[in-house]
Amino acid sequence: MGIGKNKPEGHADGAGVTPADAAPLPNPKPQSQIPALRLAVLASGRGSNLQALLDARRDGLPLEFVLVASDKADAPALRRAEAAGIATLALDPAAYPDRAAFDADLFARVAAHAPDLVVLAGFMRVIDAAALAPWAGRIINIHPSLLPKYRGLRTHERALAAGDAVHGASVHYVSAKLDGGPVIAQAEIPVQAGDTPAMLAERLLVQEHRLLTATVALIAAGRIALVDDGVRLDGARLAAPLRLDADGRLAGA
């Protein structure tokens, strides 16, 4: 399923695929011939990115949701999962002595469902390095900024305060560094005169959904992998993140 070894920092600043590293390209299989990617989703809030993945499955993307888990029992994401007949899990961090204990238990329970990929879709916690280690190359996050800009919270506010002309979202492999793993793909939107953080967030959310589903589709097809020197697409090292185009496709893929 395009799974490899993680490396905490692998974001390069070039463009496109490095030709010298290119490997022979496989013949892409129709989606009907691709085995379903077993997916676990972690979310703390409303679950709109989860819903985007559910909609993509309805539209033919080969996904099997094995678990939706949250650190908040009242998270709307859990209700979306229940309505779709997906197993759910809610754990209270306050019931554990520390973050490491919570994360160890959470990921032990995730592992029991044997996912191919874990997606952090609005999961508002920094994960302990020891819990992450067994999932290297098998866990991704969607973050509302053009990483490496604006790791952490309040990304829309910070982009406006900096006077940025362009804002966006990133899908990246998760490492122990906050929002610091290698970036797979990004989507951009222009910052408009008079934008507020809420307005910017609302416009970007549409692109976040498209970006996440397009990236997961590449992983499901076995075309994306994380190896020691960074992200590879069809065996060729990416010199820069893929970019979502106006049609919702990842340019270069």
pLDDT of residue 30: 56
Given a cut of 90, whether residue 231 has pLDDT beyond it is yes
Residue 115's SS3 state is coil
Residue 72's SS3 state is coil
Alpha-carbon distance 2 to 5, whole Å? 10
**What are 64's strand-pairing partners?**
38
Q: What HEC string does 44-58 produce? A: CCCCHHHHHHHHHHH
Given a cut of 80, whether residue 1 has pLDDT beyond it is no
Given a cut of 50, whether residue 73 has pLDDT beyond it is yes
pLDDT of residue 31: 55
Cβ atoms of 159 and 188 closer than 8 Å: no
Which of 155, 154, 169, 179 is closest to 205 using CA atoms?
Answer: 169
Which of 103, 105, 118 is closest to 38 using CA atoms?
Answer: 118
pLDDT class for 119, splitting at 50, 70, 90?
A: very high
Alpha-carbon distance 55 to 237, whole Å? 30
pLDDT of residue 34: 77
pLDDT class for 3, splitting at 50, 70, 90?
A: very low
Q: In what order do the strands lie in the sheet with 224-227?
A: 224-227, 230-233, 236-237
Given a cut of 90, whether residue 27 has pLDDT beyond it is no
Which of 250, 186, 227, 221 is closest to 25 using CA atoms?
Answer: 221
The tokens of 94 are what?
A: 């306050």
Q: List the single range of 31-35, 47-51, 71-75 with lowest mean pLDDT.
A: 31-35
Q: What is the CATH number of domain 19-251?
A: 3.40.50.170
**Which residues are marked as active site?**
143
Amino acid at 224: I
